[in-house]
Structure 1
Amino acid sequence: MTGPPLKVMQWVNTEDCALMTSIPTGAYVKVIGSLLYYSGQRSLLAKDIRHIKDLNEITSHMLEVVQAQMQLSGKVFDVNMNTPAASLSGRLRGGHPEGMLPNGLSTTQGQVLQVIRRFSVHEHGISLCDLKSQLDSLMTMDIRTSLAVLLNEGHVFCTIDEHHFKSAVQ
């Protein structure tokens, strides 16, 4: 309900098949995995699929989607949809909190995302090695940390393996 249909794949061993419980058709599930892009198709490589029994999890997910959209659009609101005074006082001339870009990313994360976007025109995106050479002024650990944040927040996704990346939004 919060995104377009997505093909999900899960690789299991024969021993794991016996342990898997069947989930009824039409039931809500929570899938945790890696977003992949291959041959022009997005798919999800599932690491865990869990049946949702408490419908509060669905409500919570919808709220997380709204929050993520607000972060991506750069809007900050309190619970009453007012701009909080605290967020205004800590802003610079540019209108963002110090050290943060309009999309809520740090400067380093923004640099990593910018390079990945530039290389997203290529079929497989950019490799980690090429990313490091493009950002030679940054430490490898900072690049890896930024990648983890960008992957977790859905700004980038893996393509042919865990070391090739593309931007989710051009």
Structure 2
Amino acid sequence: MAPCSARLDDGTGSIEVKVWVDSDSSEQPNPTKAKLVEGAYCRAWGKLKIFNDRRSVGATVIRPIEDMNEVSFHLLEATAVHLHFTRGPPGGARTAGANANGAAGQQQQKAAGGEYGGYDLSKYGPVAKKVFQYLREAPQSNEGLNQHEIAAKLGIDTADVAKGSDELLSAGLIYTTVDDQTWAILEAD
């Protein structure tokens, strides 16, 4: 088996996608199977992986898009996910029970995870907590803050900042903006 990799970009960011191809297979190539073309739309399914501090997708399936409705669907789905995490689930106002439980939940979070704006960071490492706190308090544009700037301001090695940010990325507390080393907090309100 040999890896075949490509860099995919959906307009919200780019990521390397690796798919393993059986090079020892004696099967003849299927002429009816569509081939991927550079610059064309494709769809990939796989698992997000981190190796040597680099994120990639280990694809199980990658195929060209034949129906442009799939592109529209992806853009709408990405928008829906973004809105869900920035404004909450659809349906507008929360119920009174949710608000009552929310106040108690915030007190519990503060007791468990310290003062991180209502976020429970008790299960994250000290560097992840420092990165999160800095992202919350530092003045920034919509582009967020770069890994090197955070490392310089906190006096921490950039590799440690990258590891701390990966913890936060995996938890969905921050997101990448202009590149894989620039982040902003995913605000819940």
TM-score by length of 2: 0.45
Q: Rg: which structure is higher?
A: 2
TM-score by length of 1: 0.49
